[in-house]
Structure 1
Amino acid sequence: MNLLKGQKIEITKGRKLSVLSFQFGWTMKKATMSIDAACFILSEKGRCERDEDFIFYGNPFDHYGAVAHSATAQEDQETIELHLSKLPKSVAKVALSVTIHAGDEQGHTISDASDFYLRLVDTITGEELFRFEYGNDLSKETAIVVGELYRYNEEWKFNAIGSGFYGGLAALCTNYGLVVEQSEEVVEAVAVAEEIVLSKIDLRKKIVAYTLEKKKMTHLSARVGIVLDVTGSMRTLYRNGTVQDVVERILAVASKFDDNAALDVWVYDHEFSRLPTVTERDFISYVNTQVLNNSKIHKYGRNNEPRVMKDVIKKYTIEEQSSLPVFIIFINDGGVVKPTKKAIVDSAIHPIFWQFVGIGDSDFEVLKQLDTMEGRIVDNANFIHLKDISAVPDEMLYDQLLNEFPKWIKDATEKRIIR
């Protein structure tokens, strides 16, 4: 069903719906501009009662566990997913919007983009319930209230609004009762710093997207994990920020591959720890918080790769079974123990691809033998050596990381390892 501006329709009446996905799409005419989708969780007063009720790329999850924002790796640009049963009775509406990032400052407006649309999809069945195309009647505005999902007689309805706003995101926040601080120098400095970091990861996501396009992998979904060496020889790289930067660079890969835009993380020496997943919401200072300042993490010992590899396999094949392939980036700076070879061979029957990255000056004797390793149904591992990973440009890093993955996808699919 294609909606018209101002049209209101029943969403849940007569349907068994539990999880809805609002899929946003647009086409930008300028490479320097950026567009973001967001939503506001509103009370009966039509306002956000707390800052956390504003969901966007910088705060992708609400405190109810009902709403999630993510980038989309397929033809749509961004997704906002709603678990209706988790929204408390106090929530009367959920307003959906798109904004031109820093439009007023950079001179970008709605007229610099086209083909705005919103699709409502039943997440469980994949059925598209409606499509709303909007924005053709707008020009100088920098934000759009796309529509509102609202309660009506114990059911949910949708109002297709498509109204433009001047003043961008700040104006929308004010409209929904949020206070936008602009006067305090400290607040402004923090905001600028965070904006720089977020802009950097947005740029890296675009580079990943370009790399995936070159390798004809734009429609592939996969779960992404990173395993980080935390042995004694890595101490300096943790303290000087190199490992934090690696996490941020790999998060950009996860953001394009993974529906949840989340990166699974392990660290290991002769023991291992499975850390909380990292997202664009919480990646800043992730390594300091979760590793360096975490007394529960065993670190700076000797290396033992098979132990952590066993846990990786356990997570994806036993605890969280899925039809999606798994892409694991394994960072190591001293070479691996010889039993790692058996762990790789034994895991070839599983939908897991190991991309080993050697950093530093070691000879990586075992990892250099991956291409000639026998006894596997498919070649499920690759090795690259980057002596100084911090000096490698993003474009080169992503190209090398994703070089062998497409071939494994093809071979694993043919062997029915990926179903």
Structure 2
Amino acid sequence: MTAGTAAVSLTKVQETAPGLVSLYKSAGVSLRKQGLAGQRAAVYLVLDRSGSMRRYYKDGTVQHLAEQALGLAAHLDDDGVVPVVFFSTDVDGTAELDLGNYRGRIQELHDSYGHMGRTNYHWAIEAVISHYKASGATDPAFVIFQTDGAPYSKPAAERALCEAAGLPIFWQFVGFGDPEGKGFEFLRRLDDLPVPERRVVDNAGFFHAGLEPRLLKDEELYTELMVEFPEWLAEARAAGIVR
């Protein structure tokens, strides 16, 4: 594969997932602007299933985010597959999305998991780490971690993120809901946990997608996702975390 090229070609996306072509192109533009063309990473998607998320599943917002994740993964991951972790009080379920099987998939999975509980980040963080380690991946991981509020157990979430800082995994938190919601104060603080006192490198970012995330242009979402990832890659390589 030529250096700087996407993992999955535009031709393959056009053939297998024509509905994702626009997202694929938008993701490519953002990656090039950040100097990340040709970068490889396993893309994970973590989805909040707490009760307050109900409307975002019902109106297709979460499905759209999953499609945006696939558009990004087609550039970063050689097989274009996105492992998905659904969480609430615990891990509600895990699955995979790929270019040939994504339409309506999020709602289908969501419906199969039943009760929507509270919000506990740490179980989802641990599930991603376990999957990544078991996969035998040599490329780093980029995790899109979507939530609409603070975790029920803040100390557990903070501890899990700090302990994960020595792994080649970057956590990009994406907030859904009221930008003024107090729950997001925790995520902003999480984003600023001190280095090296609490963690060896800054392994997380956060941005708020708004009360109606589907109104955010794809280009804007991808730009926001990529703000801190390049900095983390540089720091993680310097620290010997990423090869």
**TM-score normalised by length of structure 2:** 0.89
TM-aligned CA distance change 1:291 to 1:349, over 3 Å: same
Partner residue of 2:9? 78
Partner residue of 2:189? 369
For 1:39-50, list aligned pairs within 5 A: none
Distance 1:236 1:370 in 2: 26
Structure index of larger Rg: 1
Residue 203 of structure 2, aligned match among 362, 380, 384: 380
3-state SS of 1:266 partner:
strand
Partner residue of 2:160? 343
Distance 2:92 2:237 in 1: 31
Task: State the Cα distance separating 1:258 from its structure 2 match.
Answer: 0.5
Amino acid paired to 2:27 = V
Distance 2:160 2:8 in 1: 38
3-state SS of 2:85 partner:
strand
Distance 1:393 1:229 in 2: 21
2:94 counterpart of 1:271: no
TM-aligned CA distance change 1:77 to 1:358, over 3 Å: closer
TM-aligned CA distance change 1:413 to 1:285, over 3 Å: same
Distance 2:227 2:115 in 1: 31
TM-aligned CA distance change 1:308 to 1:369, over 3 Å: same
TM-aligned CA distance change 1:385 to 1:76, over 3 Å: closer
Task: State the Cα distance separating 1:204 from its structure 2 match.
Answer: 0.9
Distance 2:242 2:93 in 1: 25
Q: Deviations over 1:265-293 (max 9, x none)?
A: 0101102134221011000110122222x
Task: State the Cα distance separating 1:255 from its structure 2 match.
Answer: 1.0
For 1:265-344, list aligned pairs within 5 A: 265-292=84-111, 294=112, 297-317=113-133, 319-336=134-151, 337-338=153-154, 339-344=156-161
1:201/1:252 contact within 8 Å kept: yes
Aligned residue pairs total 233
Residue 68 of structure 2, aligned match among 239, 245, 249: 249
TM-aligned CA distance change 1:279 to 1:373, over 3 Å: same
3-state SS of 1:264 partner:
strand
1:332/1:359 contact within 8 Å kept: yes
Distance 2:58 2:142 in 1: 27
For 1:123-138, list aligned pairs within 5 A: none
1:272/1:298 contact within 8 Å kept: no
Distance 1:290 1:390 in 2: 20
Distance 1:236 1:208 in 2: 26
Amino acid paired to 2:132 = Y
Uncovered stretches (5+) of structure 1, i.e. residues with no partner: 1-22, 26-71, 80-97, 102-168, 170-194
More strand per residue: 1 or 2?
1
Partner residue of 2:45? 226
Task: State the Cα distance separating 1:229 from its structure 2 match.
Answer: 0.3
